A and B are shown apart, each in its own frame.
Chain A
Amino acid sequence: MGFPHSHDLEVGTILSRHFGDPKARELETWLGYGGYEGLKQAIGMEPGEITTVVKDSGLRGRGGAGFPTGLKWTFMPQEKKGPHFLCCNADESEPGAFKDREILRWVPHLLIEGCLIAARAIRAEHVYIYVRGEYFPFTSILNDAVVEAYEAGYIGKNILGSGWDCDLTVHIGAGAYIAGEETGLMSSLTGGRAEPKIKPPFPAQSGVFGMPTTVNNVETLAAVPMIVVNGSDWYRQWGTEKSPGTKLWCCSGHLVRPGNYELELGVPLKDVIYEVCGGVPDGKKVKAVIPGGSSTAMLTADELDVPSTYEGLQEAGSSLGTASPIVLNEDTNIVSAMRRIADFYAHESCGQCVQCREGTSWVAQILKRIEAGDGRLSDLDTLYDLCEQLTGRTICVLADSVVFPLRSSLDKFRNEYEALIGGRA
């Protein structure tokens, strides 16, 4: 079942099957649902075998970038010279995304199991689940599950009598978007400011406490147990060659049925919006869709007939991101929507890189002025130029994140900007 809505396009078999079922949070029920079978199998496998299965499944990172998960695991040193760490990134903070929250909330044991299997694959002895501070109600659900799993011998010393040890710690963040960036997350986890760090060194070389570390998203890790149980071909029955499997969607904005849906990758975006979510309320039209969370390029109503895959949305000039479409109806003021997005990124810039620190706030201020009716046509040139200055010059991609929606809004909705400016040069 889906939660709170369901639709027949939903696959509903992997991540979200038990959403809405409070009993699934309890270990006993969860074991009855086949829980921890993947872990049992993984314990009988060599780390390399686990990685191979995940690699073959084509699972891609669900945190937004879509990097192949199995390949990421192979970056970890084959020979251990010290402890390895797995970080589960549960700092879900992209505006529009609310999928990891549902996993933490309904199926915490699925996440724990995925974490342990991944930890085994990368030879980690400790897992940190970094949960965003705002998720404290869901953190307590996760914490309860962790206690249960420890008591039942699924985490800790000599897991399931195998002789293999692995610990798991849940860490609560203090509320910074950029803690969701992997190096920022690790910095925050180890007591520093959530500030991204220049790479190299990559986390697999030097991560948490300077040791080899892999950072994976909640949804990615939650997909791992069933891939291990059922095999890579089973997972590939959904999706496309390059984007296999299913994906949790977070649909928000002007929709009849906003919410989470688990859909096969490749479903046309227009079907997600019109079929699954029932289109725009009150018979209004779609003006724009920000398909992958607020950091992705806007699509117009005419551009929605694209397959919802990593490659499909990239070809359409946007990005699947976290599969979190924000739908804006025909009454929406695009400049206001863009100003709101820019405010967010200006607020969340960590302040290290000059372009991002000063540029995101400058963009937000220009947009605010245009919105207030005090814009100039030259402001649009400045905004375009800022798109150049904020792209590809900083440690992390926060600055780029404001450029994607900004540039697309300028390209596609210039008339709205000009209408507010009223011809002042």
Chain B
Amino acid sequence: MNQPASETIRLTIDGVEVTVPRGTTVLKAAERAGIVVPHYCYHPGIPSRPAQCRMCLVEIEGQPKLQPSCVMTAGEGMNVITQSEAAKEARRSVIEFLLLNHPVDCPICDAAGQCMLQDYAYETGQLESRFREAKLVLGRDRIADDILYFADRCILCTRCVRFMRDVAGEESLIVAQRGHKAYIDTFPGKDLDHEFRGNIVDVCPVGALVHEDFLFKARAWDMDTAPSICPGCSNGCNIEIGAKENQIVRLKPRYNADVNAYWMCDYGRKHLVMSNRGARIDLPLVRRNGELEAVHWGEALDWLADSLPSGDGVALISPFESTETIAAVRALLDSVGISGGTYRLERGGEAQLEGFPKLKLRAERAPNAAGAELFGFSETAALPGPMTGGLLLVAGDRLADAPSDFGADAGFFLYIGSHLSDAARNADAILPATTFAEMEGTFINHAGRIQRFQQALVPPGVARPAWMILRRLLAMRGVGQAVLEAKDAFAMAVEEAAELTGLEWAAIGLRGADAKLDGAPAPAAG
């Protein structure tokens, strides 16, 4: 810490001395000391701090009452004891109170295993309830088209209400009734249809709010998760993909102060869950005697290495491809003497998150248009053609809207992709590629931030990342090295684009780094 002395204070928390900037709360100071003070209503991304859950009460030497650490400002020389008998007893009683009318339906609750009430209840170890009365039953409600509210599980921390009010900037949720009959509801006459409403499920510390499309889908401990980047638009929100039995079942935003904070939009959530659908290509196919024939990778690549024409041609890529794939396509095109190339980009309406303006559902509904531009591809609305022979290379674009004779006028039609549309079936060779969720790679967002995503799913059949396929093919034709790891494919891309100079795979990490793109504002490092 390089701040002047007057700007920092020192205090002791559970015997650990810690120095923090003046104005830091006791809860944040404790975090700095490596101590988590249990809490429910406080959320670092929601500005208001009502201090109402009373879970973060701590003892502060010299103060007669326990103090809520989420709002208590740390003072010079303060001695905070989070584990005092009084503080522990206060926490125990909060848990007891919260469980009085709670249905304890963990076996059928989607939050089980990731529930702060469950965790702290275990920690306080109260096996039997002293509550002899009948539990109050409030039932459940559809609070939005796609979100269910289980009132009996709700601990009324009001994070959802305050997310909508403070962050989304729309007072669509309220606490209805009062006292032990209180529950969360939509404001009378108002629907919860905000583009960022899904975040209320993420901020819910218990199982009170559940996305209907995740309802009863997976137990937390049966899910595999991987850090990833939302491909829904060019904002590049950091996400965590939750998968069960190789299907994406849930997306959650992953904190990144420079991109999306704690949030993501509902378009992104839905968009990605949809990616489970469609007929996949799982084997290489080559055209022999007019018929597509499944072959081994070796055979397909040998044949391709020999028969790929040079000199003339066009290329269509997809802005959903990784930077590594786009660089490899560029390298292949360069090797056969084709310049330029196009990509098609869907556009849609925008929606900004009022409380965090960097987060916006952007008009460009693809994650890597910036990467496509970087490697010399330009946006087009039209499909390539008509052609008079030559190479037609399509990478990633699903050609869903292409005419049935698409590619017939090409001399050689190579298709690399994940899904097999009718138009793609016209190709002379079809190479099965993974989706971004099935591989590692990077995307470059609207602001020129390059961000890594990791593999969440196992690819079907023998599908491989397109960069891996293309670099192998190039190596067989005497251009560069074959690579098996994304970091090596990335290093090759860095060598091939001056704007990426200096970027290192490890340094990009899970937070991303800024590429030096022309005209793109460099986001402040933080």
**A residues lining the B interface (CB < 8 Å):** 176, 193, 195, 197-198, 346-355, 357-362, 365-366, 369, 376, 379, 382, 389, 392-395
Contacts and interface: CB of A to CB of B under 8 A. Distances in A.
B137 interface: no
Nearest to B99: A358
Nearest to A362: B100
B180 A346 contact: yes
Given A198-B71, A366-B133, A369-B132, A357 B156 contact: yes
Centre residue among A198, A354, A393 by max chain B CB count within 10 A: A354
A350 B100 contact: no
Interface residues of B, number: 34
A358 B71 CA distance: 23
Interface string B51-74: 111110100000011101001000
B98 A354 contact: yes
Contacts of A197: 50
Interface of B: 49-55, 57, 64-66, 68, 71, 90, 93-94, 97-98, 100-101, 130-133, 155-156, 158, 175, 177-182
Contacts of A346: 179-180
Given A198-B51, A393-B54, 6 more contacts: A197-B50, A348-B178, A351-B181, A353-B52, A358-B98, A376-B132
A175 B49 CA distance: 26
A360 B179 contact: yes
B93 A392 contact: no
B97 A355 contact: yes
B97 A352 contact: no
Contacts of A393: 54, 57, 65-66, 90
A359 B66 contact: no
Contacts of B182: 351, 357
Contacts of B133: 362, 365-366, 369
The 9 residue pairs across chains A and B that have the minimum distance between CB atoms: A351-B182, A358-B97, A352-B52, A349-B179, A361-B180, A389-B93, A365-B133, A198-B51, A351-B178
A361 B50 contact: no
Nearest to B178: A351
A345 to B, nearest CB: 9
Given A198-B68, A361-B180, A355 B175 contact: no
B135 to A, nearest CB: 11
Contacts of A355: 54, 93-94, 97
Contacts of B178: 176, 193, 348-351
A306 to B, nearest CB: 26
A420 B124 CA distance: 34
B94 to A, nearest CB: 5
A354 B51 CA distance: 11
A358 B101 contact: yes
Contacts of A353: 52-54
A354 B179 contact: no
A358 B101 CA distance: 8
Contacts of B64: 392
Centre residue among B68, B71, B131, B179 by max chain A CB count within 10 A: B179
